[in-house]
């Protein structure tokens, strides 16, 4: 802690910032949605509040089914990976998910059901007095529009970088462009 408190923070660079917007009023499916969809959302939100995590499901699924869950997730999120890359990522995901739970329980305290921030950054980021850079991919499931909107509220230089063709994991999917943006942001050579 003493080392961290002595650091001079002079810029903020964030990859796919989670939790910028406030929770929408209509985060649940409308009453006109099919009963099955409404029931599924109710169950997921209930389990979320009880601290059931994706890792928990992988742990209780056991070796065979747990690895299958990891494989299905990896194939759906990273369809461009080779078979060898998919196998490596699947093993990585499985083996970091099955040990006894620890930090994964923090997610429930940070995010509401539906991955909405309990303390939205839109209320806190404008207080920063340092340059801010956000990095998103055009194919990310998280909207970069929220970061753009918060940039308009900032009292210091702020910019959103969007990497064409990249998804949620731009550090991996477009590593050269991502790394260049991070270095430029840290060197404060980014056009803001």
pLDDT digits (tens, 9 = 90+) for 39-76: 998 898 899 888 888 889 999 999 999 999 999 999 99
Select the highest-mean-pLDDT range: 108-112, 143-147, 160-164, 186-190. 160-164
pLDDT of residue 12: 81
pLDDT of residue 61: 93
> 84-143: per-residue pLDDT in tens?
999 999 999 999 999 998 888 888 888 888 778 888 989 899 998 889 999 999 988 888
Cα–Cα distances in Å, from 60 out to 67, 69, 74, 85, 104?
11, 11, 19, 25, 15
Q: Using pLDDT thresholds of 50, 70 and 90, give the confidence band for residue 151.
A: very high
Judged against a pLDDT cut of 60, whether residue 3 lies above it is answered with no
Q: Using pLDDT thresholds of 50, 70 and 90, give the confidence band for residue 4.
A: very low
Cα–Cα distances in Å, from 112 out to 16, 73, 109?
18, 22, 8
- 134 beta partners: 14, 160
Q: Count the Cβ atoms, other than its own, within 10 Å of residue 124.
A: 13
Judged against a pLDDT cut of 80, whether residue 177 lies above it is answered with yes
Judged against a pLDDT cut of 70, whether residue 10 lies above it is answered with yes
Mean pLDDT of all residues belonging to the chain: 86
* Contact present, 16 and 142 (Cβ < 8 Å): yes
pTM, 2 dp: 0.74
| Spatial distance between the Cα atoms of 22 and 158, rounded to a whole number of angstroms | 20
Q: Which two tokens stand for residue 83?
A: 């078979």
Q: Using pLDDT thresholds of 50, 70 and 90, give the confidence band for residue 185.
A: confident
Q: Count the Cβ atoms, other than its own, within 10 Å of residue 189.
A: 8
| Spatial distance between the Cα atoms of 179 and 172, rounded to a whole number of angstroms | 10
> 14-45: per-residue pLDDT in tens?
887 778 888 877 777 778 889 998 899 889 88
pLDDT of residue 2: 44
């Amino acid at each position: 802690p003493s080392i961290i408190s002595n650091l001079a923070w002079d810029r903020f660079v964030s990859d796919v910032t989670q939790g910028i917007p406030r929770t929408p009023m209509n985060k649940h499916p409308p009453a006109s949605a099919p009963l099955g969809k409404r029931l599924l959302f109710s169950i997921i939100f209930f389990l979320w509040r009880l601290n059931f995590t994706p890792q928990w499901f992988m742990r209780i699924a056991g070796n065979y089914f747990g690895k299958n869950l990891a494989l299905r997730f990896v194939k759906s999120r990273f369809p461009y990976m080779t078979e060898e890359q998919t196998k490596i990522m699947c093993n990585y995901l499985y083996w970091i998910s099955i040990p006894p739970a620890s930090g994964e329980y923090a997610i429930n305290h940070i995010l509401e059901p539906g991955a909405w921030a309990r303390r939205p950054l839109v209320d806190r980021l404008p207080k920063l007095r340092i340059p801010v850079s956000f990095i998103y991919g055009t194919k990310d499931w998280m909207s970069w529009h929220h970061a753009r909107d918060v940039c308009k509220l900032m009292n210091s230089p702020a910019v959103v970088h969007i990497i064409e063709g990249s998804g949620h994991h731009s550090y991996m999917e477009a590593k050269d462009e991502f790394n260049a943006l991070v270095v430029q942001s840290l060197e404060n050579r980014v056009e803001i």
